[in-house]
């Protein structure tokens, strides 16, 4: 496995691969790798000839006062894991390499970025969309792999790639969870033992929302309230939002039908954790 730290070298390496007919899969990450990230690598490995992973803690997607400096970083461990899982090259640039001059251009998808995560983190998705557009331009992947864990991000990246005609298929991969239901996240390391024990309430809230729909609930507000009620019953959780949305437009339907996505976010002490679940609303006869 190769470690590449400059944009020019990444381009050269991947241009050569493409010229020889290889299909390039890209797995963008911020490092601190866990089984969630590695599931994206496995999916890329199955479908592509060359698997490139980026490891870059992108300052543009952190707001003032967020955990940019404290974000967990361990490049040596990440490289060993990437190698074990068959990654061909890791692109791990410095901030100075990625943003050599002040970034005056920003990629924004305002209609999808103002609610949920975007309401709490107003500059976050512009930072994500901008760095992902740069990574697509640098790596030229034919497929790029993102986790459903960050569902709003996946929807925004997919839309950005389609709107800007990037020749890339954005592939969404299922959420990898701990045995008790907690979604794997690099930020789980911040949880105290008590917060860690409380955190699976997010997944239970989603299951409660799904159960409400499966037992006939069609009022989105009532389903959202059922999820919110369970999260707020946990003293260590501070609810941010509980929502039921359309999985493509992220609009909030009144009456539920077809496919919907349930999303929750809450703070447990310092870390803010997210989770979501897709539900196919049963047809009522």
| Binding interface with ligand AMP (CB under 6 A) | 29-30, 36-37, 39-40, 146-147, 149-150, 173, 175-176, 183-186
85 is annotated as an active-site residue: no
> 250 vs 281, which CB is nearer to ligand AMP?
250
Q: Which residues pair with 244 in a beta bridge?
A: 262
Shortest distance, position 160 Cβ to ligand AMP, whole Å: 14
> What single DSSP character describes residue 150?
G
Residue with Cβ nearer ligand AMP (40 or 155)? 40
Residue nearest ligand AMP by beta-carbon distance: 147
At residue 133, the 3 state secondary structure works out as helix
Catalytic residue among 37, 85, 124, 203: 37
Burial of 16 per CB tally in 10 Å (0-12, 13-18, 19+) = exposed
CB nearer ligand AMP, residue 147 or residue 200? 147
Q: How far is the CB of 283 from ligand AMP (least distance, A)?
A: 30
Minimum Å gap between C-beta 274 and ligand AMP is 9
The residue among 203 and 223 lying less far from ligand AMP, judged by its C-beta, is 203
Residue 13: CB minimum distance to ligand AMP, A: 21
What CA–CA distances, in Å, run from 170 to 48, 73, 118, 158? 13, 26, 21, 6
Instruction: For residues 144 and 157, give the distance between their C-alpha atoms in angstroms, rounded to a whole number.
Output: 10
With 0-12 CB in 10 A as exposed, 13-18 as middle and 19+ as buried, what is 275? buried
Rounded to whole angstroms, the Cα distance separating 221 from 254 reads 7
Lay out the sheet containing 238-245: strands in order across: 238-245, 259-267, 272-280
Distance CA 33, CA 79 (A): 9
Whole-number minimum distance, CB 213 to ligand AMP, in Å? 23
- Our CB check for ligand AMP shows the closer of 39 and 281 to be 39
> Which residues are CB-neighbours of 135 under 8 A, at least 6 positions away?
26, 28, 54, 91, 144
Positions marked catalytic: 37
């Amino acid at each position: 496995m190769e470690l590449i730290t400059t944009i020019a070298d990444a381009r050269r390496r991947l241009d050569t691969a493409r010229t020889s007919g290889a299909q390039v899969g890209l797995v963008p990450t911020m490092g601190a790798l866990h089984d969630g990230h590695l599931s994206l690598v496995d999916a890329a490995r199955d479908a592509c000839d060359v698997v490139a992973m980026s490891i870059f803690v992108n300052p543009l997607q952190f707001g003032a006062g967020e955990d940019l400096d404290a974000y967990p970083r361990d490049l040596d461990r990440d490289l060993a894991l990437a190698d074990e899982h068959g990654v061909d090259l890791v692109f791990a640039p410095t901030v100075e390499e990625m943003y050599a001059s002040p970034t005056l251009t920003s990629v924004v998808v305002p209609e999808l970025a103002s609610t949920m995560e975007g309401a709490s983190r107003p500059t976050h998705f512009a930072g994500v969309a901008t760095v992902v557009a740069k990574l697509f331009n640098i790596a030229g992947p034919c497929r790029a792999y993102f986790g459903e864990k960050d569902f709003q991000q996946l929807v925004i990246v997919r839309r950005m790639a389609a709107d800007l005609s990037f020749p890339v298929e954005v592939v969404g991969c299922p959420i990898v969870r701990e045995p008790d239901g907690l979604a794997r996240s690099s930020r789980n390391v911040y949880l105290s033992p008590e917060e860690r024990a409380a955190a699976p309430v997010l997944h239970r809230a989603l299951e409660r929302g799904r159960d409400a729909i499966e037992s006939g609930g069609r009022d989105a507000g009532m389903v959202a309230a059922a999820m919110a009620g369970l999260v707020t019953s946990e003293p260590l959780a501070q609810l941010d939002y509980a929502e039921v949305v359309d999985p493509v437009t992220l609009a909030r339907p009144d009456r539920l039908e077809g496919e919907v996505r349930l999303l929750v976010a809450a703070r447990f002490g310092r870390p803010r954790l997210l989770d979501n679940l897709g539900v196919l609303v049963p047809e009522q006869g």
